[in-house]
Structure 1
Amino acid sequence: MTTETPRPGALRIPSMRPHCSPEEWEARVNLAACYRLVELYGMSDMMANHISARVPGEQNAFLINAYGMMYEEITASSLIKVDLDGNILAKPDFGPLDYGINKAGYVIHSAIHGARHDVDCVIHTHSWASMAVSSLACGLLPLTQTAMRFLKIGYHDYQGVVLDTAEQASLIADLGEGEALILRNHGALTVGRTVGEAFNWMHRLELACRAQLAAQAAGAALQPVPQAVLEATWNNYQPNTRRPYGVMEWPALLRKLDRLDPGFRD
């Protein structure tokens, strides 16, 4: 619905709900929630970075943020629908702001959605912790149980701001069939079969990075874990050995947001 008297500082954005299928609207609500949660858990970078979600029933279309909005103000209606060629398929009337999309966001997300048909959500962050770990030659170390989940994480070497589609091939190759990728000297990326699953991966990756930096900052010797234990622990986190991530957590996270500010659903 259109908000006639928006809260101070809130954009007046007409509702996109009448122009969406029920399935697309649900995807929009979940994606808007993900933006709010990335901000809430301290992983946002003002209006930079991007999270996308595939449009249900439209294999070549995905939703992404309007470039110029802060994560805490993203709503279901503010998201822009774009195809894999970068064409904007649908967006709300932003008035004189006339927001578009971040080109780097398009290059990264279109590559993954085009190559990984099992993936419905892609999250990219520049958190302080992931940027710090991405700049370490050692990368992410399996120092904690949480980090052991990422024992086989991929790495993508820095090639500059991701504006050239020529980088898409190496990005996809480095991600492979995995769920997480360290972008060297840059940040982090996770994917999931649902928005909740992708957020779960990113939240845990962020915790692993923060814990490693804290342990290294202590200046004491780091406690290693035997390789056999690392492998067994990693296996415990794989899809064939546990329920999918986000199944239990996501409904609770949506309730959390509803208590704080249900405006993401607009």
Structure 2
Amino acid sequence: MSSLSTLPAPAHNVQQRVSAEEWQVRVKLAAAYRMAALFRWTDHIYTHFSARVPGPHEHFLINAFGLLFDEISASNLVKVDVDGTVIDDPLGLGINQAGYVIHSAIHQARPDLLAVMHTHTRDGAAVSAQRGGLLPLSQHALAYYSRVAYHDYEGIALDVEEQQRLVANLGSSNILILRNHGLLTGGVSVEHAFRELHGLERACNIQIAAQAGGNADLHYAPAAAIDKVRQQSALQASGDGPGIARHWDALIRQLDRQGQGYAQ
């Protein structure tokens, strides 16, 4: 495995040898990494986002192990299959084994989820460590409260035997809190998975802030409101409707003010 002190260019022109559809997904996934860096959701070179490669093969794209999120570009993403075989690794860095275990399990079990995103943020990990998990404390939280799933911590996710339990706990949901670990969202597109993660992270921020008052009583949303917001959030949950694209387009405008290196 290679080591690097400066980031080299990929060994060959990736855009010229992949389909236009794959390149589009690469650009979107790289943008998601850069936005996560912009929002300070990163854990140095750890954690991972992935996206399924369009086409008949069970391939997905994930970050090269050793790159910071703000170094990810469309050309340096690694293509891997669900069995762990690296198909294309432009920088020769390989991938994080924990990333493979988590993402391959979900891509194989849930072909409806074209993108999967996982974070170790301070507030996300803090909520994951609470017995009650995500609480119905805010409008943000209510968008997820009725559909969040949980997976108990089993150690660093290096054991492929954990995959079966991970996907069983995820079930038909696309929102998973990994206990004592972090957050995970899936989506029918990169844009959808990122929208889900953006709101979930914010819900965790609000929960930790609300709990910072110590012994102050917290007011939970009433059951009727929880059910109402569940219905109102149905389009976001499914990835349908104009809201996902509107949210993504605004994020891209924000990101592009920092430069467009992600698209290279």
- The interval holding the TM-score normalised by the smaller chain is over 0.9
Distance 2:79 2:239 in 1: 35
The corresponding residue for 1:104 is 98
The residue number in structure 2 matching 1:228 is 224
The whole-number CA distance in structure 1 between the counterparts of 2:162 and 2:234 is 29
Match of 2:56 in 1: 58
Which runs of 4 or more aligned residues in structure 1 lie more than 4 Å from their structure 2 counterparts after TM superposition? none
- Output the CA distance in 1 between the equivalents of 2:8 and 2:226: 48
Task: Rate the CA distance shift 1:140–1:238 in 2: closer, same or farther, 3 A.
Answer: same
What are the equivalent positions in structure 2 for 1:1-266 lying under 5 Å apart? 10-14=7-11, 15-92=13-90, 94=91, 98-152=92-146, 153-219=148-214, 220-239=216-235, 243=241, 246-266=244-264
Give the root-mean-square deviation of aligned CA atoms: 1.7
Q: Percent identity?
A: 46
Give 3-state SS (helix, strand or coil) of 2:150's partner.
strand
SS at match of 1:248: helix
Structure 2 spans left out of the alignment, 5+ residues: none
Please state how far the C-alpha of 1:33 moved relative to its aligned partner.
Answer: 0.3
What are the Cα deviations for residues 194-216 of structure 1, in whole angstroms up to 9, with x where unaligned? 10110111111111001001101
Is the contact between residue 187 and residue 239 of structure 2 (CA under 8 Å) also seen in structure 1? no
Name the aligned partner's letter for residue 128 of structure 1: R
In structure 2, distance between residues paired with 1:241 and 1:12 = 35
TM-score norm. by structure 2 comes to 0.92
Q: Are the equivalent residues in 1 in contact too, given 2:63–2:95 (CA < 8 A)?
A: yes
Structure 1 pair 245–68 and aligned structure 2 pair: CA distance change class (3 A): farther
The SS at the match of 1:213 is helix
Instruction: Confirm or deny: 8 A CA contact 1:196 1:245 kept in the other structure.
Output: no
CA distance in 1, matches of 2:72, 2:114: 19
Question: 2:222, 2:256 → 1: CA distance?
Answer: 43
CA positional deviation for 1:189: 0.3
Report the secondary structure of 1:68's partner residue: coil
Q: CA deviation at 1:244?
A: 6.1
Q: Could you tell me how far 1:58 is from its partner in structure 2?
A: 3.5
One-letter amino acid of the counterpart of residue 88, structure 2: A
Q: Name the count of aligned residue pairs.
A: 255
8 Å contact kept, 1:235–1:241: no
TM-superposed deviation, 1:183: 0.3
Give ranges in structure 1 of 5+ residues lacking alignment: 1-7
